[in-house]
Amino acid sequence: GESVGLHLPTLSVQEGDNSIINCAYSNSASDYFIWYKQESGKGPQFIIDIRSNMDKRQGQRVTVLLNKTVKHLSLQIAATQPGDSAVYFCAENIEGGSEKLVFGKGTKLTVNP
């Protein structure tokens, strides 16, 4: 089965609030993680990534946190906007393996105006 999963399948927030999307992974050998955003009818779009030698990485309005102790990954979106409504996937790459990624099933984020 998949080693990447998500705690919540759906998340609903108010516009302007901060959003936190969680992901659990089970393979301690994973050394690279990516968050993707998929809007309705489109392909997944790269948002941000993080390597296992880091525990935090920030982008524009997004922050990814990695807790290797409990094998947990999260994506934080600041000041969530209606355009952030989408399905968010985490993906992992196992160290020493191929360039294949293992994807979670996704969390649907809905931003209410």
Partner 1 sequence: DVKVTQSSRYLVKRTGEKVFLECVQDMDHENMFWYRQDPGLGLRLIYFSYDVKMKEKGDIPEGYSVSREKKERFSLILESASTNQTSMYLCASSFGLLADHQETQYFGPGTRLLVL
- Binding region for partner 1 (CB under 8 A): 2, 32, 34, 36, 41-46, 49, 89, 91, 93, 98-101, 103-106
What pairs with residue 77 in β-bridges? 19, 62
Whose structure tokens read 């009818």? 41
Burial (CB < 10 A; 0-12, 13-18, 19+), residue 27, is: middle
Based on CB atoms, which residue is closest to partner 1, 2 or 17? 2
* Closest approach of partner 1 to the CB of residue 99, in Å: 5
**Nearest to partner 1 of 45, 112 (CB atom):** 45
CB of 55 to partner 1, least distance (A): 18
Shortest distance (Å) from residue 105 CB to partner 1: 4
Euclidean distance between CA atoms 86 and 1, whole angstroms = 25
Based on CB atoms, which residue is closest to partner 1, 32 or 63? 32
Is residue 22 within 8 Å of residue 109, measured between CB atoms?
A: no
Residues 6+ apart with CB under 8 A from 40: 86
Considering the complex, state which of residue 18 and residue 46 has its C-beta at the smaller distance from partner 1: 46
Query: Minimal distance in Å, beta carbon 61 to partner 1?
Result: 20
